[in-house]
């Protein structure tokens, strides 16, 4: 089943209507599932699964994209203290390169659900795909992090976890600026790829990373690495190889 919000109307705050509907249909325990990090050029894709404690739901839960970093961190800590059942799984760049980003995301969803300390019998999954191999019924909900409190909670947990992983990546390879852009396709990130080539956390099945490695090894441009409109600073060949 796929649900999609009406884009012509203002989006209300997420609530428990989808969870209660699942319970009316026979479910006893409902979990929300969401992922963060499918689009970046570097770092893992992170999936969280959350079963809320209905007696102690933290205030302010929203789609993680609608919250500031401080707000997400506060709600994250409140979720951990609330008695919610939470599981987080990260699919690293090596796995993404091996099976592709979509399959890595679906794999992480299945693993996150399986790792929950309390097993649900119904899943609300953000997006339009239900992974194979789930231990219970899964329901895909397009725009689910704006509709379901359980999915929104999962989006916050996944986002905070991935951001903290990016901060660690930044400590190890600060010249890429991971703490700022989180591995996404920011101009400063393309500039760092141009200067240094890909690092240990880059996704080597993504075209800009492949192109950056080719430039570093050969000095030959084999494709459009930089976004349209960005002016490249020409470096001497020797300096490019030494970067």
Segment among 6-20, 21-35, 56-70, 202-216 with least mean pLDDT: 6-20
Predicted confidence at residue 239, as pLDDT, reads 31
* pLDDT tens digits along 155-173: 999 999 999 999 999 999 9
Portion of the chain with pLDDT greater than 70, in percent = 86
Predicted confidence at residue 230, as pLDDT, reads 44
Predicted confidence at residue 11, as pLDDT, reads 59
- Domains of the chain by start residue, with CATH: 12-170 (3.30.420.10), 175-242 (no CATH)
The mean per-residue pLDDT over the stretch 16-25 comes to 97
Distance of CA 167 to the CA centre of its chain: 15
Residue 27: both structure tokens together: 């479910």
Q: How confident is the model at residue 228 (pLDDT cuts 50, 70, 90)?
A: low
Order of all β-strands in the sheet with 85-91: 2-3, 137-141, 122-126, 30-36, 45-51, 85-91
* pLDDT tens digits along 33-73: 999 999 999 999 999 999 999 999 999 999 999 999 999 99
The mean per-residue pLDDT over the stretch 192-216 comes to 93
Is 60 exceeded by the pLDDT of residue 209?
Answer: yes
Predicted confidence at residue 225, as pLDDT, reads 53
Predicted confidence at residue 222, as pLDDT, reads 55
Is 60 exceeded by the pLDDT of residue 236?
Answer: no
Find the helix or strand (DSSP H, E) in which 195 lies: helix 187-196
Instruction: Report the alpha-carbon distance of residue 112 to residue 104 in Å, rounded.
Output: 12
b/e sequence 79-99, b meaning 16+ C-beta within 10 Å: beebebbbbbbbbbbebbbee
């Amino acid at each position: 089943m796929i649900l999609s919000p009406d884009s012509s109307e203002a989006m209300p705050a997420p609530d428990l209507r989808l969870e209660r509907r699942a319970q009316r249909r026979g479910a006893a325990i409902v979990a929300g599932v969401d992922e963060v990090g499918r689009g970046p050029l570097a770092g893992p894709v992170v999936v969280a699964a959350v079963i809320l404690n209905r007696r102690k739901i933290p205030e302010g839960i929203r789609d993680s994209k609608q919250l500031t970093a401080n707000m997400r961190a506060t709600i994250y800590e409140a979720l951990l203290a609330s008695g919610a059942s939470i599981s987080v799984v990260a699919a690293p760049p090596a796995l993404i390169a091996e099976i592709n980003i979509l399959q890595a995301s679906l794999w992480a969803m299945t693993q996150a659900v399986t790792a929950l300390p309390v097993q649900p019998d119904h899943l609300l999954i953000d997006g339009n795909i239900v992974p194979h191999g789930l231990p219970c019924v899964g329901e895909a909900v397009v725009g689910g992090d704006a509709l379901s409190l359980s999915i929104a909670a999962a989006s916050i947990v996944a986002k905070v976890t991935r951001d903290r992983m990016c901060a660690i990546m930044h400590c190890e390879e600060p010249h890429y600026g991971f703490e700022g852009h989180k591995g996404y396709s920011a101009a400063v990130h393309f500039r760092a790829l141009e200067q240094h080539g890909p690092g240990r956390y880059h996704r080597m099945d993504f075209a800009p990373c492949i192109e950056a490695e080719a430039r570093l090894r050969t000095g030959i441009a084999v494709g459009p690495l930089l976004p349209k409109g960005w002016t490249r600073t020409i470096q001497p060949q020797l300096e490019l190889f030494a970067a």
